């Protein structure tokens, strides 16, 4: 009984930690893109941010997993969940996200 409760609690905590790590990763990406658009050296912003965000995410998931693949999986699910949350919070409300279909194609030979 205690093992099952401990496993469930460990997975839940790993998922919450994954949400936090994912929020930092994708929120940092959003922030970096906004900063890089105004910077004279956007490549430095993007590369530096990538290295910092990826390092934080990998070290965080490593620590959260504590050698258990189940916790690693729960953390990854949390990261993916954070992606959807950050997308909802950062895109403009008036963005209709319409898809424009290509009408004209190259002439057939």
78 domain residue, yes or no: yes
53 domain residue, yes or no: yes
105 domain residue, yes or no: no
84 domain residue, yes or no: yes
98 domain residue, yes or no: no
Distance CA 72, CA 77 (A): 9
Distance CA 18, CA 47 (A): 23
96 domain residue, yes or no: no
pLDDT of the residue at 54: 97
pLDDT of the residue at 1: 46
Low-confidence ranges of the chain (pLDDT < 70): 1-5, 93-109
pLDDT of the residue at 95: 52
Alpha helices in 38-105, H assignment, sequence order? 42-65, 69-90
H or E stretch at 7: helix 2-37
* Domain carrying residue 36: 2-90
Distance CA 82, CA 27 (A): 9
45 domain residue, yes or no: yes
pLDDT of the residue at 98: 54
The total domain count for the chain is 1
């Amino acid at each position: 009984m205690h093992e099952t409760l401990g496993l469930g609690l460990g997975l839940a905590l790993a998922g919450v930690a994954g949400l936090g790590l994912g929020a930092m990763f994708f929120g940092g990406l959003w922030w970096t893109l906004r900063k890089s658009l105004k910077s004279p050296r956007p490549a430095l912003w993007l590369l530096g941010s990538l290295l910092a965000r990826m390092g934080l995410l990998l070290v965080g998931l490593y620590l959260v997993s504590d050698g258990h693949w189940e916790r690693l999986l729960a953390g990854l699910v949390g990261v993916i969940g954070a992606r959807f949350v950050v997308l909802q919070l950062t895109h403009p409300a008036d963005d209709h996200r319409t898809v424009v279909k290509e009408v004209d194609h190259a002439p057939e030979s």
